[in-house]
Structure 1
Amino acid sequence: NCIYLYFLFTVKKNEVECLIRIFHSLVERADVRLDNIGLDRNAFQVIPHRIFGMTDDVLMNRVFFAFDKDNDNLINVKEWVKGLSVFLRGTFEEKLKFCFEVYYLNGDSYISREKIFDMLKNSLHQQSPEEETDEGVTELVDITLKNMDYDNDGKLSFEDFEKAVKEDRLLLEVFGPCLPEAKVQHQQAKNPSPSSFNTIHYSVPS
């Protein structure tokens, strides 16, 4: 019941119940620790890949840790419902905070120059594996910081990121896609039922 109340204003009660059923179905098919039931990285990454078409393994690893709030390397049912509520019905503010968390990932709440470099290099590699160079990526980092680092401290705070994204919403996923595409998100949000997740059921190791 506390889970239902916690997410009442984001996801409807019947949708929460459905997500919980899906969670337990996935756990039953995955090889998890009996002392702390949840989805590990391998089991979890099937969902963004198969259902939401998100295939960047580097970013999906970061998404996993953004879901995993207690840092135990497993996504429990509360983390599962909360994370998917942002995926399926999140407000712009929730998505903004989620993306920033994915990008700074277990750091000091800043996106450093080094992290920007790594993420942009990975993003470019996904698009054109043979064309990116360190020099070209460094130039993009400089351009990014020039346009987003409002306090000129050489890194991006949440305040920097929020201001830049609110001025240009296309910057929301500037360092790589970490949210489902709008059309896929809309489709799943309309019907987050077990049948809509059936493709997962056969993909999780048993």
Structure 2
Amino acid sequence: MKKPNMGNNDSTVEDLKSCESHQWYRKFMTECPSGLLSFYEFKKFFGLRNLSETSNAYVEALFTTFDLNDDGFIDFMEYVAALSLVLQGAVHQKLRWYFKLYDIDGSGCIDRDELLLIFKSVDAINGIHDDTKTQEFTNMVFDKIDINGDGELSFEEFMDGVQHDQMLLNMLTQSLDISHIVEKIQGEMMDDT
């Protein structure tokens, strides 16, 4: 059976469910025998150790967006749904997920501080420590898509602005690309067989 290349966006939900589902399930259950992944186990699962406070806040926000039923745990189906979205979700689906991730306080709008925190956290996880550049990027995003100039991005402003600016769409997509983490897990699964 052909193994899908998990590192690109050509993977499908069916790929995850069929030929490798047993490997994904085995990896999940090996790391999390209870079948419920806590935040601590989530960080361990993805090899995220010794994070700064900012990076930890980002990872916690990421965890929360994957916890679809808000019970404080990620079960195997939520895990597969999250990987499916990241690997092959439509642009609209990914943007909806990004908005939820950026809206840290759940207010329905993203302010500059929330966006800046996420961008700083992503940079920290990737080993980049250039606060000036991160601040400039945050300002550029707001200048481009905060249509009414109120200092907050509504869901509609975010969706319209990002979908109509290919450069911004590419930058946001690349900044939250976790396919390298999926590839690492994929490699570990192959080592186990």
CA distance in 1, matches of 2:66, 2:45: 13
Count of residue correspondences: 172
8 Å CA contact retained: 1:110, 1:158: yes
Alignment of 1:165-204 (within 5 A): 165-172=162-169, 173-174=171-172, 177-180=175-178, 197-199=186-188
CA distance in 1, matches of 2:28, 2:81: 17
Following TM superposition, by how much is the alpha carbon of 1:57 offset from its aligned partner in structure 2, in angstroms? 5.2
After superposition, give the CA deviation of every residue in 1:107-126 in whole Å (9 maximum; x if it has no partner): 12211222123223335555
Structure 1 outlier segments of 4+, above 6 Å: none
CA distance in 2, matches of 1:66, 1:73: 11
Q: Which has the higher contact order (CA 8 A, sep 6+)?
A: 1
8 Å CA contact retained: 1:121, 1:132: yes
CA distance in 2, matches of 1:161, 1:115: 13
Consecutive unaligned residues in structure 2, runs of 5 or more = 1-11, 49-54
Match for residue 83 of structure 2? 84
Match for residue 38 of structure 2? 40
8 Å CA contact retained: 1:44, 1:64: yes
Distance 1:106 1:175, change over 3 A: farther
Consecutive unaligned residues in structure 1, runs of 5 or more = 1-9, 51-55, 189-195
Following TM superposition, by how much is the alpha carbon of 1:104 offset from its aligned partner in structure 2, in angstroms? 1.2
Q: Structure 1 length as normaliser, TM-score?
A: 0.64
Following TM superposition, by how much is the alpha carbon of 1:46 offset from its aligned partner in structure 2, in angstroms? 5.4
8 Å CA contact retained: 1:116, 1:175: no
Aligned-pair RMSD on alpha carbons?
Answer: 3.7
CA distance in 2, matches of 1:27, 1:128: 30
State the identity %: 22
CA distance in 2, matches of 1:201, 1:76: 22
Amino acid at match of 1:115: E
> Which of 154, 161, 174 is the equivalent residue of 1:164?
161
